[in-house]
Amino acid sequence: MKIVQKKTLEDTNCQVLVYGIYNVKENETPPLPAWVKKDDPSLKDFFGNLGQMVVFSDVQIGKKKFLKAALVGLGKKEKLNALNFCVAYAAAFLGFKSKFYSSIAFVYDRQEFTKVFCSHLIMADYEFLDYKEKKEPPPKIEEINLIVQGSSDLTNDIKLGIIYGQATNYCRSLQNQPANVATTTFMAKQAEKLAQEKGFEIIVFSEEELKKHNMNSLLAVGSGSAHPPYLVILLYRGNRKQKEFDLAIVGKGIVFDSGGLSLKPSEYMENMKFDKSGACVVLGVFEGLAQLKPNKNIVGVLALAENMPSSSAYRPGDIIVAYNKKTIEVLNTDAEGRVALADAISYCIEKYKPKYLIDLATLTGACVVALGDLAAGLMTADEELKNKLLDCSLKTNDRLWPLPTWDEYDEKVKSQVADVKNVGERGMAGAIAGYSFLKVFVDQNTSKWAHLDIAGTAWTEKPKFSLAPGGTGFGVRLILEFLNSI
């Protein structure tokens, strides 16, 4: 899908026009463009409220004729944010796409939303159809024109938005693969394929190599599965004059989470194919890096395992010696993500010493209870890092909300028989307990660290924000934007 900026409506040859309208006064028809007939009966209840839409046929504007033209309500101008803007316009995009129109011109006056809007359109254009019988070609939008009132040249914003959206869709395609396809070996091979195609360095620790490196916590999580665990490391060197790494991204890659011997309830277990979402985000970011080519050095780490019950599975009550020699008391095998990440994070910091380290994990149901599906939990003790991530979250619609990280919470994960236990106190601050656990495996004197709990935002069971159900790719745009801020 091609997205280009046009100066005026006279410059576009699109079939369809979409025009944003603000609500000025409640229950009052707002100011309308000159081409709209004010006495049109379809305008009777159109007030420019957020999400309202009125469609006209055969609209003549100057010398240009559009087959369809839509007014889209944007609500109060002072209340409009990037997400509401994108959702309102993307709804029109999907409506016209479903009617097999191939080109759409969008008119708006908020140039600061252009980058995120372009990424949202690319994402709205995505559907996961890998396993659907294809009886006829699906509808397809070929070209988008942007007419942005009062704007400067937006070529770079459009380019970045397209890259962000494409990288996110790559992540979503991996997220949506079922567990019988997306095994640990499949994910490791996807990383190898990406590295080969894009020119990244890659290191893959097989099960035997994990044993040699004493990565016993990742091994334990994968011990009940027929599919072996892996640690995959991707290296992007955009600044070869510098040895240091600017950023490390560590992703939880549990390709299916049954809960292990602490078995989950069967309800919604089919969604546990999405427990690999953090690792998919890492691969999505690297897909974006190949196009952005920033002058920075970045390391990506995938902690891959499948958490299954069997005679060889790790057990409640086990004590594991992790890579950094800290001991873990396992109280619940369904709190496996943090156990798998323990080795990945501690090895990454020791080996690569990144300035910043961000881990992304579908870690806790507690975070879903706290924040729902509208924001991921952000936990960091570094104020500068927190503020950078919050700013990037607003610019990309990958919204974050900070949770407290007081040292007193660390007491909740102290074990009587080991250095740390893998769950906190029942029913209390479960998301923060995950952070406090991981803290034991982070050298914060070396790296500034943030933990993102994306459990509520990584996938959706129904269409949301004018996007298809399934994996959301949450975090890809956020991390790519963060790279521009450091």
Mean pLDDT of 339-355: 98
- Asked if 338 is an active-site residue, the reply is yes
- The pLDDT value recorded for residue 413 is 98
Domains 2-151 and 164-485 share a fold: no
pLDDT tens string 425-443? 999 999 999 999 999 999 9
pLDDT tens string 199-229? 999 999 999 999 999 999 999 999 999 999 9
All residues at 6 or more sequence positions from 447 whose CB lies less than 8 Å from its CB, including other chains: 248, 349, 353, 354, 355, 356, 357
| Statement: residue 135 has pLDDT above 80 | no
* Residues above pLDDT 70, as percent of the chain: 100
pLDDT tens string 297-344? 999 999 999 999 999 999 999 999 999 999 999 999 999 999 999 999
In the chain, what are the domain boundaries?
2-151, 164-485
**pTM, full prediction:** 0.97
How far, in Å, are 18, 145, 153, 162, 459 from residue 106 at the CA level? 5, 6, 16, 16, 28
| Statement: residue 40 has pLDDT above 80 | yes
- CATH architecture, domain defined by 164-485: 3-Layer(aba) Sandwich (3.40)
Average pLDDT, the chain: 97
Q: Which amino acid is at 161?
A: G
- The pLDDT value recorded for residue 306 is 98
DSSP state of 102: -
Percent of residues in the chain assigned helix, strand, coil, to nearest 5: 35, 20, 40
Q: Sign of the CA dihedral 275, 216, 380, 426?
A: positive
- The pLDDT value recorded for residue 134 is 81
- The pLDDT value recorded for residue 479 is 98
Q: Which of 338, 388, 399, 439 is catalytic?
A: 338
Domain covering 2-151, topology:
Leucine Aminopeptidase, subunit E; domain 1 (3.40.220)
- The pLDDT value recorded for residue 462 is 96
Nearest residue to 472 via CA among 95, 52, 128: 128
In 27-120, DSSP assigns E strands to 53-61, 64-73, 103-108
| Statement: residue 39 has pLDDT above 90 | no
In sequence order, which ranges of 262-400 are alpha helices (DSSP H)? 277-292, 337-352, 365-371, 383-396
Mean pLDDT of 153-164: 97
In sequence order, which ranges of 397-449 are alpha helices (DSSP H)? 430-439
Name the pLDDT band for 138 (thresholds 50, 70, 90).
confident
Stretch (H or E) spanning 117: helix 114-124
- The pLDDT value recorded for residue 100 is 96
Distance CA 272, CA 170 (A): 19
Q: Which of 264, 315, 351, 353 is catalytic?
A: 264
